[in-house]
Amino acid sequence: MSQPKWEGKVCTRLTNATADQIWPLYRDFVNFHKWFPCLATCYAIHGTNGEPGCVRYCAGFSIPSNGAGAGADKPVSWSKERLTTLDNEGRSLSYEIVDCNIGFKSYISTVKILPQGEDGCVIEWSFTVDPVEGWVLDDLVRKYEVGLQRMAKRMEDALQH
């Protein structure tokens, strides 16, 4: 019998940026490294940026790759991610990991940028993935929370300058 899928959702509130300001930054699918901490690179390897079917390559140190040990010589984590849906009106997008070295199987993620008051918004990031051997779901959710909070701060800071 297969284990139930892991599901997680993290949210962060931005008080100095509207959903209309944040959405164009987030929907730029192949430039995610500009905003997400620990992501060294992100670029298109197939298709047109922002169109479903587009595939990006992401690499960095945010999630340990399989067999990664401690220390400066740890291997780079990478993934190839396909944009599956993009809804400009609803300010949401979904993507799936098609290949990676971080142990994710059947990974699907959805991000929504929701208006919150006149000057703010909420970024909601949810995911579903098969359990990863040697990992704990709560630890993975915490990594997402920290990453999302840092990303939101970078986006807000960029809009203020």
Task: Spell out the SS3 assignment of the chain.
Answer: CCCCCEEEEEEEEECCCCHHHHHHHHHCHHHHHHCCCCEEEEEEEECCCCCCCCEEEEEECCCCCCCCCCCCCCCCEEEEEEEEEEECCCCEEEEEEEEECCCCCCCEEEEEEEEECCCEEEEEEEEEECCCCCCCHHHHHHHHHHHHHHHHHHHHHHHHC
User: Could you tell me the CATH number of the domain that includes residue 88?
Assistant: 3.30.530.20
Least confidently predicted of 31-45, 60-74, 99-113, 146-160: 60-74
Count how many domains the chain has: 1
**Domain region containing 82:** 6-160
Q: Would you say residue 71 has pLDDT above 70?
A: no
Predicted local confidence at residue 67, as pLDDT: 45
Provide mean pLDDT across the span 72-93: 90
- Note the pLDDT of residue 75: 74
The confidence score (pLDDT) of residue 133 equals 86
> Is position 72 within any domain?
yes
Domain for residue 1, yes or no? no
pLDDT on residue 54: 98
pLDDT for 9 equals 98
Indicate if the pLDDT at residue 3 is higher than 90: no
**pTM confidence score:** 0.89
79 falls within a domain: yes
Q: What is the pLDDT of residue 63?
A: 60
